[in-house]
Amino acid sequence: MKATIDKIITDIDQFVIKDTKSLEDFRIQFLGSKGIVKNMFGELKSVPNEEKREVGQLLNNLRLHAETKFASFKEQLETAASSDASLDLSRPGDSDEIGSRHPLSLVRSEIIEIFERIGYAVSEGPEIEDDWHNFSALNFPPEHPARDMQDTFFIEKGENEMALRTHTSSVQVRVMENSKPPIRTISPGRVFRNEAISARAHCFFHQVEGLYIDKNVSFADLKQTLLYFAKELFGEKAQIRLRPSYFPFTEPSAEVDVSCTICNSKGCNVCKYSGWLEILGCGMVDPNVLEACGIDSKEYSGFAFGMGIERITQLKYKVNDLRLYSENDVRFLKQFTPGM
Ligand code: DAH
């Protein structure tokens, strides 16, 4: 038996493997289910008991010997196959296409940076809001039309009726409830309204809310902050004008126009020949809102403002169809690749 094992080891060593066919022949002959090694193990039972242990050991070595040769030739053949002689190392590689940032995120970042430079922090709140944060704390009377089903998406959440927030003003309530003045914060985020989708309206869009609360904050501070913002965003020549308006959460309230950057206020179809473009709503935070959020309205005052990111992006990049922002057409998106 021992002599046979030695002979098989020599056979293994002398077996020439030169391709996958001879590798497979080797496997069948030595390691297959009817191969030599298996047969030899079968013969172990005819070995006298006292030699079984030693012969068993030799058979294990034999099997290992065959397996090692098989594995190393297999690897050699595979490596040879992958290092194909036709490989051309001088061939230029395929470059990955570089993506671009979405125009809305570009503009959102720019707005955030402008306010961060004058000490504003960024805060965020949930998109699914309760009535208190979206409406009641913001001084919306119960019968206010903005609570109407037509504008707001209401959803059931457990026992509660919740709303998809209709504006980021809800975040100012959360910030005031959770921190003490002085407060200087901007809150970018997505908002939802039950509107038919068209070039000029969408059921979701993005806003940035601003809030400044401290002692002795005045309307002049608000105007100066917004003028600074307009000049940083649209250039040194930009001017603003404020028109009286109404929001439940601010008193007095105003709508802000910026001088038309497209025609330099000469009059064009974007500004409808008025020379001005509306960009945001603002006002002094209503004392009712301060009190609802736990801030003493006799000690503190403040201003708030809110703007649509799509609107600002439309003015900066002259994109006049809101649907383009959410269709993810690469022909649109790749125009915003840096350097193009
Ligand atoms: N929340 C308003 C809207 O969605 C925008 C707004 C107006 C926000 C005046 C304010 C503000 O903070 O003071 O139309």
Preceding peptide of 141 cis, ω within 30°: no
Same-domain pairing of 199 and 51: no
Check pLDDT > 60 for residue 23: yes
- pLDDT of amino acid 36: 93
pLDDT tens for 193-249 read 999 998 888 999 999 999 999 999 999 999 999 999 999 999 999 999 999 999 999
- pLDDT of amino acid 176: 98
Q: Is 98 part of a structural domain of the chain?
A: no
pLDDT tens for 102-121 read 999 999 999 999 999 999 99
What range does the domain containing 186 cover?
Answer: 103-336
- Percentage of the chain beyond pLDDT 90 is 71
Closest CA to 13 of 70, 57, 56: 70
Same-domain pairing of 177 and 75: no
Mean pLDDT, to the nearest integer, of 270-297? 95
- Percentage of the chain beyond pLDDT 70 is 98
- pLDDT of amino acid 157: 79
Q: Is 93 part of a structural domain of the chain?
A: no
Q: Is 283 in the pocket of ligand 1 (CB under 6 A)?
A: yes
Q: Domain containing 248 — which CATH number?
A: 3.30.930.10
Check pLDDT > 80 for residue 333: yes
Burial 118-130 (b: 16+ CB within 10 A, else e): eebeebebeeebb
Residue nearest to atom 13 of ligand 1 (CA): 282
Q: Is 247 in the pocket of ligand 1 (CB under 6 A)?
A: yes
Same-domain pairing of 41 and 163: no
Cα(135)–Cα(137) distance, integer angstroms? 6
**Which is more confidently placed, 157 or 305?**
305
Reported as a pLDDT band with limits 50, 70 and 90, residue 96 is confident
Mean pLDDT, to the nearest integer, of 155-181? 93
Q: Is 152 in the pocket of ligand 1 (CB under 6 A)?
A: no
Residue nearest to atom 8 of ligand 1 (CA): 306
Reported as a pLDDT band with limits 50, 70 and 90, residue 150 is low
Same-domain pairing of 231 and 312: yes
> Are the CB atoms for 11 and 3 separated by under 8 Å?
no
Q: Ligand 1 center to residue 169 CA distance, Å?
A: 6
Cβ neighbours for 223, distance < 8 A, ≥ 6 positions apart: 240, 242
- Specify the ligand 1 atom closest to the Cα of 307: 5
Cα(234)–Cα(315) distance, integer angstroms? 9
Q: Is 58 in the pocket of ligand 1 (CB under 6 A)?
A: no
Cβ neighbours for 39, distance < 8 A, ≥ 6 positions apart: none
> Are the CB atoms for 59 and 44 separated by under 8 Å?
yes
Same-domain pairing of 59 and 113: no
Tokens (6 digits) for 202: 């969408």
Q: Is 167 in the pocket of ligand 1 (CB under 6 A)?
A: yes
Number of folded domains that form the chain:
2
Same-domain pairing of 224 and 294: yes
Reported as a pLDDT band with limits 50, 70 and 90, residue 149 is low
Query: What is the rounded average pLDDT for all residues in the chain?
Result: 92
Reported as a pLDDT band with limits 50, 70 and 90, residue 339 is low
> Are the CB atoms for 31 and 70 separated by under 8 Å?
yes
Distances (CA, A) of 36 to 147, 306, 330: 86, 84, 63
Q: Ligand 1 center to residue 215 CA distance, Å?
A: 22
Q: Is 47 part of a structural domain of the chain?
A: yes
Q: Is 168 in the pocket of ligand 1 (CB under 6 A)?
A: no
Same-domain pairing of 58 and 114: no
Q: Is 282 in the pocket of ligand 1 (CB under 6 A)?
A: yes
Which of 245, 247, 285 has most ligand 1 atoms within 8 Å of CB, for mutation?
247
- Specify the ligand 1 atom closest to the Cα of 211: 12
Same-domain pairing of 62 and 134: no
Tokens (6 digits) for 81: 């196959």
